[in-house]
């Protein structure tokens, strides 16, 4: 699976083959009754029985569109999953999926079944034996009797009730209306929804918009005004979300649930399903965004030896996992295959791919991001302020770094006792005489413009910091006004750079070059280089060899870092950070960047 050079992923047939190649290794992992998948032994907040059901159901995000699109390759796989559904909803069968309760993970997995009732009613409902139809309705109907989080989860119940309506079964109309009204309250403008008030991330795209466009496709006769609104909003956000992708096909690693990987492109697939285009984003551009991202992912080391998707991002890695990431969770990525419900004659498939180039600088106030890209469209850097998550692992690292890069990704700490274990890339970390390192976690206020990002934050008691981030081409300037009541040690990290990589064979490792001195630190690598230059306040530079597996992108990384010693009172720290796609690095700060930095003094 990791070498997809023989499948260029250009056509509908290519995408069908990829879906089959992703699902086929899973058939050996099916339980005897076919109702669960055992894909590994790592844990989640729910038990193994639910985890097995989750893995089973997430495959349906690909199988259901394939059946809708009359793909014959789906038939032998559907025979297995059909058997699993019959057994999973049967209370008398040993592999029954069980009665649910409030806030139950199985509610999440019901969503695809609601979509299936809408999209392929004959295959998913009417062709089942009559007892199985009764059991399916009873099992799915539980979702109307229990409480759930008041966020994107509401769409799971919406889809189930839409599915009931599609096959002529009684639905909970009051629940459906209440849920849709509640979801409307999560809309905040410019196409953006929030899952939680201070959290903007991929859930707007692969949840709110994805499900909204499924709703629009099947409920237009019943709820035309709302469906038109869902389509209009998807068109509004499409150019903004396109700015998260670079010309290499990479999407911005940012926020939680990144183990869903190529679900990043699911929004584009849903746009095709819902007939959504936008100014500058026709079918050719949408097709390129979707397939380009998939092509990049198929070159990454994201599968185990049996071809099963792993938990992680650029490689298998549990460090970044949320508590709700079980071994089958990564198969939420299968939502990207919704476009297979469309036949070859659809304009999406007839269109020639065309690269879309967003503006070099894009301020997205609703997302609370300032996005920039280099002149060649080879990488995107996002500067962030105002986002914060409250209940997920490594939420500070996932939402509150100074900068996020499609090339370099970001790192997460294993512990905060040392710079090596803390892996403080794109962060200012501080510690007292014998304390732990502290970085940004939360904010007091923030402001974004097209030229800079500002925010105030307090990493610990007695410390207040005002930060400015000012981008210029592939550079950015960081300025911190630090007020402290006690002595502190400070460390300012650039991007985490790949430490070593295989040029031809895995056993032949190419080492990155480390450079450090009084006023700078840098790492030069053919896979991306980074340098940090001191302007004011820093004492020296060093290259931190981060603890293995702290980076989202690479198993081993180096972080160019500046150090400073702060005394009580106010200190101004100013530095310039340069990031390049290859091994090139400047020896000094350009005049234009130095002028920006000097204005911060």
Beta bridge partners of 571: 482
Instruction: Specify the pLDDT at position 385.
Output: 93
Q: Which of 120-129, 442-451, 475-484 has the lowest mean pLDDT?
A: 442-451
Instruction: Specify the pLDDT at position 504.
Output: 65
Share of the chain above pLDDT 90, in %: 90
More confident residue, 251 or 375: 251
What does the pLDDT average to over 275-304?
Answer: 95
pLDDT band at 388 (very low <50, low <70, confident <90, very high): confident
Instruction: Specify the pLDDT at position 7.
Output: 63
Instruction: Specify the pLDDT at position 198.
Output: 82
Nearest residue to 474 (alpha-carbon basis) of 358, 368, 592: 592
- Residue 2 pLDDT > 80, yes or no? no
Measured torsion, CA atoms of residues 426, 430, 434, 435, in degrees rounded to the nearest 10: -80
The string of pLDDT tens digits covering residues 216-230 is 999 999 999 999 999
Nearest residue to 192 (alpha-carbon basis) of 157, 151, 126, 241: 241
Across all residues in the chain, what is the average pLDDT? Answer: 95
What does the pLDDT average to over 32-47?
Answer: 96
- Residues 387/406, Cβ–Cβ less than 8 Å: no
- Rounded to a whole number of angstroms, the CA Rg of the chain reads 25
pLDDT band at 389 (very low <50, low <70, confident <90, very high): confident
Residue in the block written with tokens 């508590």: 323
The string of pLDDT tens digits covering residues 49-89 is 999 999 999 999 999 999 999 999 999 999 999 999 999 99
Q: Looking at 360-412, which runs of residues are DSSP E strands?
A: 361-364, 369-373, 380-384, 403-405
Nearest residue to 446 (alpha-carbon basis) of 469, 477, 462: 469
Dig out the tokens for 74 from the structure.
């789906």
Map out the domains of the chain as residue ranges.
Answer: 12-350, 361-599
CA distance 212 to 215: 5
The string of pLDDT tens digits covering residues 80-126 is 999 999 999 999 999 999 999 999 999 999 999 999 999 999 999 99
What does the pLDDT average to over 186-207?
Answer: 93
Residue in the block written with tokens 């053919």: 526
Residue in the block written with tokens 């936008």: 278
- Residue 305 pLDDT > 80, yes or no? yes
The b/e string for 243-264 (b: 16+ C-beta within 10 A; e otherwise) is: bbbbbbbbbbbbbbbbbbbbbb
Phi and psi, residue 79, nearest 5°:
-60, -40
- Residue 3 pLDDT > 60, yes or no? no
Residue in the block written with tokens 């950070």: 577
The string of pLDDT tens digits covering residues 545-588 is 999 999 999 999 999 999 999 999 999 999 999 999 888 899 89
Q: Residue 4: left if φ>0, alpha if ψ -120 to 50, beta else—which one?
A: alpha
The string of pLDDT tens digits covering residues 531-550 is 999 999 999 999 999 999 99
Q: Which of 147-156, 329-338, 499-508 has the lowest mean pLDDT?
A: 499-508
Instruction: Specify the pLDDT at position 199.
Output: 87
- The CATH architecture to which 12-350 belongs is Alpha/alpha barrel (1.50)
Nearest residue to 392 (alpha-carbon basis) of 255, 261, 262, 259: 255
List the end-to-end C-alpha distance of the chain, in Å, as a whole number: 52
- The CATH architecture to which 361-599 belongs is Distorted Sandwich (2.70)
Instruction: Specify the pLDDT at position 471.
Output: 97
The string of pLDDT tens digits covering residues 339-364 is 999 999 999 999 999 999 999 999 99
pLDDT band at 231 (very low <50, low <70, confident <90, very high): very high
Instruction: Specify the pLDDT at position 240.
Output: 97
pLDDT band at 5 (very low <50, low <70, confident <90, very high): low
Residue in the block written with tokens 């985890």: 51
Dig out the tokens for 289 from the structure.
């965004």
- Residues 529/580, Cβ–Cβ less than 8 Å: yes
398's CB contacts (< 8 A; 6+ apart) are 254, 255, 256, 258, 320, 389, 392, 410, 412
Residue 572 CA to its chain's centroid (Å): 35
Nearest residue to 529 (alpha-carbon basis) of 423, 425, 409, 408: 408
> What pTM did the predictor assign?
0.96
- Residue 1 pLDDT > 60, yes or no? no
């Amino acid at each position: 699976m990791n070498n997809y050079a023989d499948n260029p992923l250009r056509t509908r047939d290519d995408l069908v083959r990829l879906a089959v190649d992703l699902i086929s290794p899973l058939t050996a992992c099916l339980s005897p009754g076919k109702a669960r998948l055992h894909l590994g032994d790592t844990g989640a907040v729910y038990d193994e029985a639910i985890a097995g059901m989750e893995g089973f159901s997430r495959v349906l995000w690909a199988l259901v569109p394939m059946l809708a699109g009359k793909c014959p390759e789906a038939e032998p796989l559907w025979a297995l999953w059909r058997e699993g559904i019959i057994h999973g909803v049967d209370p008398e069968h040993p592999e029954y999926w069980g009665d649910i309760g409030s806030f139950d993970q199985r509610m999440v997995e019901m969503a695809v079944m609601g979509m299936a009732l809408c999209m392929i009613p004959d295959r998913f409902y009417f062709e089942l034996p009559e007892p199985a139809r009764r059991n399916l309705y009873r099992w799915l109907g539980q979702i109307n009797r229990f409480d759930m989080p008041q966020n994107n989860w509401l769409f799971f119940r919406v889809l189930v009730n839409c599915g009931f309506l599609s096959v002529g079964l009684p639905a909970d109309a009051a629940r459906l209306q209440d849920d849709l009204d509640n979801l409307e309250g999560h809309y905040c403008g410019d196409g953006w929804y929030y899952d939680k008030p201070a959290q903007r991330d991929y859930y707007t795209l692969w949840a709110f918009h994805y499900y909204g466009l499924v709703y629009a496709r099947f409920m237009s006769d019943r709820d035309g005004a709302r469906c038109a609104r869902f389509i209009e909003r998807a068109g509004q956000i499409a150019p903004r979300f396109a700015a998260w992708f670079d010309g290499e096909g990479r999407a911005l690693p940012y926020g939680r649930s990144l183990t869903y990987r190529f679900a990043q492109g699911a929004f584009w697939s849903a746009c095709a399903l819902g007939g959504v285009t936008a100014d500058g984003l026709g079918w050719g551009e949408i097709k390129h965004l979707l397939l380009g991202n998939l092509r990049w992912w198929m070159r990454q080391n994201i599968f185990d030896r049996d071809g099963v998707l792993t938990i992680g991002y650029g490689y298998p890695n549990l460090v970044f996992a949320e508590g709700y990431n079980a071994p089958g969770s990564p198969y939420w990525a299968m939502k990207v295959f919704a476009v297979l419900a469309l036949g070859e004659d659809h304009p999406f498939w007839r269109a020639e791919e065309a690269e879309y180039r967003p503006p070099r600088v894009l301020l997205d106030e609703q997302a609370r991001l300032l996005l920039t890209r280099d002149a060649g469209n080879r990488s995107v850097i996002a500067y962030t302020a105002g986002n914060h998550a409250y209940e997920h692992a490594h939420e500070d690292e996932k939402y509150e770094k100074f900068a996020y890069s499609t090339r370099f990704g970001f790192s997460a700490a294993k512990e905060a006792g040392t710079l090596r274990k803390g892996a403080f890339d794109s962060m200012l970390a501080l510690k007292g005489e014998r304390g732990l390192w502290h970085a940004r976690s939360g904010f007091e206020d923030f402001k974004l413009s097209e030229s800079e990002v500002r925010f105030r934050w307090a990493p610990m008691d007695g410390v207040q910091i005002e930060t400015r981030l000012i981008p210029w081409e592939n550079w950015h300037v960081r300025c911190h006004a630090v007020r402290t009541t006690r002595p502190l040690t400070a460390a300012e990290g650039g991007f985490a750079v790949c430490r070593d990589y295989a040029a031809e064979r895995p056993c032949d490792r190419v080492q990155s070059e480390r450079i450090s001195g009084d006023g700078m630190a840098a790492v030069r690598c053919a896979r991306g280089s980074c340098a940090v230059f001191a302007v004011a306040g820093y004492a020296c530079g060093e290259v931190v060899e981060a603890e293995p597996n702290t980076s989202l992108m690479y198993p081993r990384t180096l972080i160019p870092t500046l150090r400073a010693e702060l005394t009580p009172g106010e200190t101004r720290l100013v530095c310039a950070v340069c990031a390049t796609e290859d091994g090139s690095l400047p020896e000094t700060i350009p005049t234009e960047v130095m002028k920006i930095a000097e204005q911060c003094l």
